[in-house]
């Protein structure tokens, strides 16, 4: 097992540096929260998550974000004037609304005196928005933060080629007809080839799907394992939807679209036979990642209210959860691009003085079924944990009976910058419905990064 990774590690002298770095991160002392302010997740909402190119296709991203922000205010009954600061995530940004946090806030009717800024950290952007808010609260700068994120893949910015952009810029500065004609003579039809944004690593040029396929192969994750996991995700999401568990979802009436959009439209329970017939999507013809066991391009927005426990009590609010701990990790973006959870979970639990057995719910972002299984196998591998985490033996994997029990990004959808809030809300609501105390959120992200967060059920919390 792990033949490819062992070969890479054997040939790479930097392996020693990895191990030393891991030992350093694993030595973080247990956090003492005694002198800290208690920070609470009051509530959160999201739009229905839709496949790109469907019912949201004629909107702009700030309109989706506006819906999430207004829905949050309606659900919590908090006045706009009480919000001190807004931090909001976005990955593929609309150039007209580059600081979408500010534009969405103004569109939602927030005061022009309420500061807002946009964060971007790939698939963990709304996690970054939440933890940025936690930092602002922990320093005493603010008491009440709105955090969230939006992604709109139905209309991504497509640029002219660099040569064409250069020509146009120089043409705009030309003062005479002769100068303009001289520039025109340099034009070539190839200049018109557009540049499309790609879900690929700038540092390596490799698409995330291709990297996921290599990761699955390195950990000997079979096609059947991936298809079975994808079927599990869709089946559990469908069951949760039918039971009315997605209470964070707020229906959206879109102008020009018939009816009310009230459900995620990517949940599709298929059969193993149908899944097995699909062809590889990235590494052809022998890859194992397909359209069915990978997350799909999604439009959606989310928002949540974060504040001090003291402020929540003053306002008469009943929070969902305490936001207890978080950590970010980074690793090799070439061979370990999607292993953020395997690095982040041990680091987070070490920091909090907890073990795997202490965790009642797990919500881990499903970029690909192969990525999920590879992370689990990494944590179950003596060799990997010794080599990359500096441990004496395997760390162990989460209890799968507590893992993504309402489905995940494979089925519900994955608007890059909105998923983090969904993960936190599903954790908080699952803790209530499953009578748990502690939950972990974990996710990988482009750039070889990742996040892990610890959430504790608030006394008297409901799953409404």
Residues acting as catalytic residues = 123, 444
Q: Are 234 and 269 in contact (CB under 8 A)?
A: yes
CA-to-CA distance for 147 and 274, rounded, in angstroms? 39
SS3 of 85-132: the string is EEEEECCCCCHHHCCHHHHHHHHCCCCCCCCEEEECECECHHHHHHHH
CA-to-CA distance for 211 and 337, rounded, in angstroms? 7
Contacts 24+ apart (CB under 8 A), 135-140: 136/84, 136/85, 136/87, 137/37, 137/39, 137/306, 137/307, 137/308, 138/36, 138/37, 138/39, 140/37
Element (H, E) at 247: none
Return the percent helix, strand and coil in the chain, to nearest 5.
Answer: 40, 20, 40
DSSP-derived secondary structure for 355-384: -GGG--EEEE--SBHHHHHHHHHHHT-HHH
CA R_g for the chain: 23
End-to-end CA distance of the chain: 45
Contacts of 46 (CB under 8 A, 6+ apart): 68, 248, 249, 250, 300, 301, 302, 303, 418, 421, 422, 425
Q: Are 407 and 315 in contact (CB under 8 A)?
A: no
- Of 86, 230, 202, 67, nearest to 148 by C-alpha is 86
| Alpha helices, DSSP H, located in 108-222 | 125-138, 162-173, 177-184, 208-218
């Amino acid at each position: 097992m792990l033949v490819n990774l062992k070969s890479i590690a054997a040939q790479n002298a930097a392996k020693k540096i990895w191990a030393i770095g891991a030992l350093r991160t694993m030595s973080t002392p247990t956090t003492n929260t005694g002198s800290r302010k208690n920070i609470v997740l009051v509530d959160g909402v999201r739009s229905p998550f839709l496949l790109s190119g469907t019912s949201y296709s004629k909107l702009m991203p700030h309109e989706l974000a506006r819906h999430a922000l207004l829905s949050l205010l309606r659900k919590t009954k908090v006045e706009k004037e009480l919000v001190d600061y807004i931090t909001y995530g976005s990955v593929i940004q609309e150039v007209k609304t580059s600081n979408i946090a500010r534009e969405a806030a103004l569109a939602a009717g927030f005061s022009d005196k309420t500061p807002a800024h946009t964060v971007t950290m790939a698939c963990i952007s709304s996690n970054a928005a939440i933890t940025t808010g936690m930092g602002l609260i922990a320093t005493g700068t603010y008491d009440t933060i709105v955090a969230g994120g939006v992604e709109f893949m139905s209309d991504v910015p497509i640029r002219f080629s660099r040569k064409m952009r250069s020509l146009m810029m120089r043409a705009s500065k030309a003062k005479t007809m002769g100068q303009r004609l001289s520039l025109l003579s340099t034009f070539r039809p190839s200049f018109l080839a557009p540049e499309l944004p790609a879900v690929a690593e700038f540092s390596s040029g490799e698409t995330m799907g291709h990297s996921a396929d290599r990761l699955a192969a390195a950990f000997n994750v079979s096609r059947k394992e991936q298809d079975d996991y994808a079927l599990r995700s869709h089946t559990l999401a469908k069951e949760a939807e039918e039971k009315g568990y997605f209470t964070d979802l707020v229906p959206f009436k879109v102008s020009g679209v018939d009816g009310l959009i009230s459900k995620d439209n990517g949940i599709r329970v298929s059969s193993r036979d149908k899944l097995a017939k699909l062809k590889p999507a990235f590494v052809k013809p022998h890859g194992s990642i397909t359209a069915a066991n990978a997350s799909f391009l999604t439009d959606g927005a989310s928002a949540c209210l974060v504040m001090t426990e003291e402020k929540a009590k003053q306002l008469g609010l009943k929070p969902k959860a305490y936001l207890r701990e978080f950590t970010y990790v980074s690793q090799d973006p070439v061979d370990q691009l999607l292993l953020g959870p395997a690095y982040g979970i041990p680091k987070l639990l070490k920091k909090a003085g907890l073990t795997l057995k202490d965790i009642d719910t797990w919500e881990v972002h499903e970029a690909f079924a192969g990525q999920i299984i590879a992370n689990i196998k990494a944590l179950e591998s003596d060799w990997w944990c010794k080599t990359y985490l500096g441990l004496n033996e395997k760390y162990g994997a989460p209890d799968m009976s507590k893992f993504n029990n309402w489905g995940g990004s494979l089925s519900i959808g994955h608007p890059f910058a909105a998923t983090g809030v969904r993960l936190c809300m599903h954790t908080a609501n699952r803790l209530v419905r499953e009578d748990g105390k502690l939950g972990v959120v974990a996710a990988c992200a482009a750039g070889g990064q990742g996040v892990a967060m610890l959430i504790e059920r608030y006394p008297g919390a409901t799953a409404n």
